[in-house]
Structure 1
Amino acid sequence: MVESPKPATRMDVARLSGVSGAVVSYVLNDGPRPVSAQTRARVLAAVEKLNYRPNAAARALRLRRSNAIGLILPDISNPYFAEFAKAIEDAAFDRGYALLLGNSSNDPHREAAQLDSFIDRQVDGLLVISVRKYAELSVVREAKIPLVVIDQPEKGVDVATVVIDNYRGARAAVDHLRSHGHRRVALIGGPPQLPGSHARQAGWRDALTDLGAADRKQLQVVAPFSRLGGLEATLQLMSTKDRPTAVFACSDVQAIGVLRACAQLGLRVPEDLALISFDGTQGAEFTAPPLTVIRQPVEMIAGTALDMLLTPPGDLESKQRVVPHELVRRGSCGCQ
């Protein structure tokens, strides 16, 4: 068996270029001491000839920076979170950072383990869409790692956040269905501990109150953010005596389940049941009919969150940024 050649070391580069190991370090790390142009050229030529790659973990320990950002999401199988992760990765790359991705699968214990792992790796910052309360993210702040929390604002907690106005977005969804003549607008809500669920429910509830709808209990089903959740919730809603004429689904994946349930029940969308959803993922444009959505601007959220994360600490830590939603009209609500 032929053994693979050992990777080149910093001292190998030093010997080939005729300098000390410290000078190699100065060249590769751009300091802290200056190096002449000729010496720098010799070192870089040796690096290329030996195919030398610095040990990233050791470099992070030495420089106290890894040029990597950690991102923890609740469910990477959800198209919205997948698109958000891509937007973060693109924005991080543009700023010279790699992205490390953690998927908590909506499990607080798994999220805690990933936080510990990212802290051990000494990432330069953490972006978190958490399934837990902010107080439980204190381990990140104790480690003095910059932190930005996405989509879960909470009063009295000194942490940087980027959110969309879930409440106003939900109200806009119901108001749009109202413009089509609907008064019995059902809600397929998400689990209350997950991002945005409570505010979207509150927006729907208050909009329905304005419509004079007294019996909201029969018009509400809490379901997972999944296709199956949307399907089962729709079957439950449409089994009641006073069926809704429209549905506001709190995520696109739930709305896809609504469409499947309508096909199963022989209902036409939007003629028998109008539909609008929250998120605005790319897939929403390709359903039949295409989904009317409250779109979250993932590129804006990603860029804003990274800019906040990479800004030197100060007053910014306690600030909350709110990004606008957008109503995108398509066929599922009755728009042409």
Structure 2
Amino acid sequence: MDRVTMADVAKAAGVSVATVSYVLSGKRPVRPETRVAVEAAIRQLGFTLNSAARSLRTGRSALVGLVVPDLANPFFAQLASALQEHVRDLGLHVVVCNTRADRREELAFVREAVQQQFAGVVITPFRLVAKDLKPLEDAGVPVVVSADIRLDGVDRVEPEARAAMRAALTAVTASGRRRIAMIAGPRDATGGDPRLELLRALTGQFGTVLPHGMVVRGEHTREAGAAGFGQLMGLRHPPDAVFCANDVIAVGAMGRAEELGLRIPGDVSLIGYDDADFASLVRPRLTTIRYPAGAVGAAAARLLRERMDGRSVPKTLRVGAEFVERESV
């Protein structure tokens, strides 16, 4: 027989899962008649708290760790804000852990989450593999991986970006540009670089290719963007359109273009990824693929809630990406 969950109790009592959480944790006041209905449903269904929900009641931990590779990237600040908004109803608070894309830092935060008995962890791993997350699973800490990489056995939030990337290529090639390049992430990043793989898979549909010589790699930083763009422009036949693994890289590329006396988009088109806040503020305004941080945070919170309610089978939620055309194409 399947274990009774908080969702079952909520349905039987005619209230939300959040209200059931309030009754169990005592974090917020609940009307007496609502409390009576919830407690009656608990007795009727034989509901018992799992370890994560029990931690709310005992006060052992009310923390959710958000583990990210670069807090200087505004996308992750937006993600933190959205995640906090959506776990607040559970009486939880988000602690942001900045790893600087360093594997040792990532492992250290995993150990800390286990030791401090975090209520959950949302992580964008940069150099971790699936087995590195097993201590969290063994400790009963719900884990959500927020990244477009393949990690088996864990809950994941990932982008659905094929249509957006196709729209970006349509806009780029409509002006006759065919020499496509990309400033991608490092070779040793967990799961490779799915954004590079997607771009490469789609270029053939537009009468062009993405050869290995048109791909440069580096960290997801402004400095790497500047260096990568300079390297591409130094080729005998430089590209006339450059895709970037994120907006931070794109802004670095934009700065190097100015130093080289190149016009964007006159000499070369530039396309980012994420649609961070600054993308619409730089000049020219950055054309990009929007991966909405708010929706990512909501999806991660939903997966955490379901785990706390007793779901045991790993689940993936896909968040739609959107092409945003501005002035750099």
Which bin holds the TM-score, normalised by the shorter protein?
0.7 to 0.9
Report what 1:218 is aligned to. Answer: 213
Gaps of 5+ in 1: 1-27, 37-58
Paired residue type of 2:183: I
* Alignment CA distance shift 1:192-1:215 (3 Å): closer
TM-score (norm 2): 0.77
How far is the alpha carbon of 1:116 from its aligned partner?
Answer: 1.3
Report what 1:133 is aligned to. Answer: 129
Match for residue 244 of structure 2 among 233, 245, 249: 249
Match for residue 284 of structure 1 among 279, 294, 312: 279
Report what 1:198 is aligned to. Answer: 193
Distance 1:30 1:220 in 2: 54
Distance 2:241 2:209 in 1: 16
1:107 aligns with 2:102: yes
Contact 2:149 2:194 (8 Å CA) reproduced: no
Residues paired across the two proteins, number: 279
Distance 2:55 2:115 in 1: 11
How far is the alpha carbon of 1:213 from its aligned partner?
Answer: 3.5
Distance 1:195 1:285 in 2: 30
Contact 2:149 2:190 (8 Å CA) reproduced: no
**Deviates further, 112-121 or 230-239:** 112-121
Q: Which has the larger radius of gyration?
A: 1
How far is the alpha carbon of 1:175 from its aligned partner?
Answer: 3.1
Please list the CA deviations of residues 210-248 of structure 1 after superposition, one character each: whole Å capped at 9, or x if unmatched.
344357122111121111111111111111111111111
How far is the alpha carbon of 1:272 from its aligned partner?
Answer: 0.7
Paired residue type of 1:320: T
Contact 2:118 2:141 (8 Å CA) reproduced: yes
Report what 2:61 is aligned to. Answer: 66
Contact 1:186 1:244 (8 Å CA) reproduced: yes
Distance 2:235 2:93 in 1: 51
Paired residue type of 1:246: A
* Alignment CA distance shift 1:60-1:217 (3 Å): closer
* Alignment CA distance shift 1:83-1:263 (3 Å): same
Contact 2:147 2:158 (8 Å CA) reproduced: yes
Contact 1:278 1:295 (8 Å CA) reproduced: yes
Larger RCO: 1 or 2 (CA < 8 Å, sep 6+) = 2
Paired residue type of 2:80: A
Match for residue 259 of structure 1 among 254, 258, 272: 254
Tell me the C-alpha RMSD between the 2 structures: 2.7
Report what 2:44 is aligned to. Answer: none
Report what 1:55 is aligned to. Answer: none
Distance 1:196 1:269 in 2: 32
How far is the alpha carbon of 1:106 from its aligned partner?
Answer: 0.9
Report what 1:53 is aligned to. Answer: none
Report what 2:116 is aligned to. Answer: 121
Distance 1:265 1:61 in 2: 56
Paired residue type of 2:311: G
Distance 2:215 2:264 in 1: 19
Q: SS state of the match for residue 144, structure 1?
A: coil
TM-score (norm 1): 0.76
How far is the alpha carbon of 1:60 from its aligned partner?
Answer: 5.4
How far is the alpha carbon of 1:152 from its aligned partner?
Answer: 4.2
**Deviates further, 222-231 or 280-289:** 222-231
How far is the alpha carbon of 1:176 from its aligned partner?
Answer: 2.6
Contact 1:174 1:208 (8 Å CA) reproduced: yes
1:324 aligns with 2:320: yes
* Alignment CA distance shift 1:209-1:92 (3 Å): same
* Alignment CA distance shift 1:195-1:283 (3 Å): farther
1:149 aligns with 2:145: yes
Match for residue 83 of structure 1 among 63, 73, 78: 78
* Alignment CA distance shift 1:84-1:61 (3 Å): closer
Gaps of 5+ in 2: 1-23, 33-53
Report what 1:19 is aligned to. Answer: none
Contact 1:73 1:128 (8 Å CA) reproduced: yes
Report what 2:302 is aligned to. Answer: 307
Contact 2:25 2:56 (8 Å CA) reproduced: no
Distance 1:91 1:195 in 2: 27
Contact 2:180 2:209 (8 Å CA) reproduced: no
Distance 1:134 1:171 in 2: 30
Match for residue 209 of structure 1 among 204, 211, 233: 204
Distance 2:97 2:275 in 1: 23
Report what 1:180 is aligned to. Answer: 175
Distance 1:30 1:87 in 2: 24
